[in-house]
Amino acid sequence: MSRSPSPNAQVNVVTGAFGYTGKYIARRLLAQGQQVRTLTGHPQHDSSLSDQVEVHPFNFDNPSALTESLRGASTLYNTYWVRFRRGRVTFDRAVANTQTLIQAAREAGVGRIVQISITNPSDDSPLPYFRGKGVVEKYLVESGIPYAIVRPTVVFGVEDILLNNIA
Ligand SMILES: NC(=O)c1ccc[n+]([C@@H]2O[C@H](COP(=O)([O-])OP(=O)(O)OC[C@H]3O[C@@H](n4cnc5c(N)ncnc54)[C@H](OP(=O)(O)O)[C@@H]3O)[C@@H](O)[C@H]2O)c1
């Protein structure tokens, strides 16, 4: 259940607050009375959270707009990634976009980044998903911004397809 933000509520940015993992992070923050802003590729998304969350596009190609959308945030929860390569969407592009996001967060003075990574990331992995996550982790660690890195093996829930199909 959401509460109205308290007068001194902190602003949190959650990428993909209407997505799979992001919506649980956003709901939890809202339930604590925190303010939530999201960056998303689907700003018009029809979600039960739409009226409680301030929405901005990703703006990876417009770093100054991206920086403004992060300004004032105490924490950035970054779920942004791509699941597989498709057309112009590549892991190299996801790495570059995430680096742009981290750089914008630094310029905006974001207090901390919580990076949702993956188990066993490595910048010399032969697997592009895991290699990209390793490169991004290193970039974050070297950015100077306080951070926490979460490395789930798999994220599951009631609407999860993979584990529910297996079950
Ligand atoms: N799902 C799992 O089991 C699992 C396991 C381990 C780690 N993780 C990590 O957890 C994080 C969140 O995963 P999730 O499954 O919850 O992801 P998701 O909701 O599908 O997407 C997370 C964010 O990435 C954006 N995104 C996804 N695919 C994209 C594409 N092809 N082009 C542009 N943007 C794209 C989404 O954009 P929109 O806002 O526009 O939707 C959203 O903002 C990821 O970093 C993932 O690596 C997930």
pLDDT in the model for residue 2: 59
Q: Among the atoms of ligand 1, which is closest to the Cα of residue 21?
A: 16
Residue 154 Cβ inside 6 Å of ligand 1? The answer reads yes
**pLDDT digit string, tens, across residues 107-139:** 999 999 999 999 999 999 999 999 999 999 999
Ligand 1 centroid–CA 93 distance in Å is: 14
Distance in angstroms (rounded) separating the CA atoms of residues 159 and 87: 27
Q: pLDDT for 50-71, tens place per residue? A: 899 999 999 999 999 999 999 9
Domains in the chain, ordered, with CATH?
Answer: 11-166 (3.40.50.720)
pLDDT at 132: 98
Going from the Cα of 7 to the center of ligand 1, the distance in angstroms, rounded, reads 31
Query: Is the distance from CB of 112 to CB of 135 less than 8 angstroms?
Result: no
At residue 47, the pLDDT reads 81
pTM for this model (two decimals): 0.95
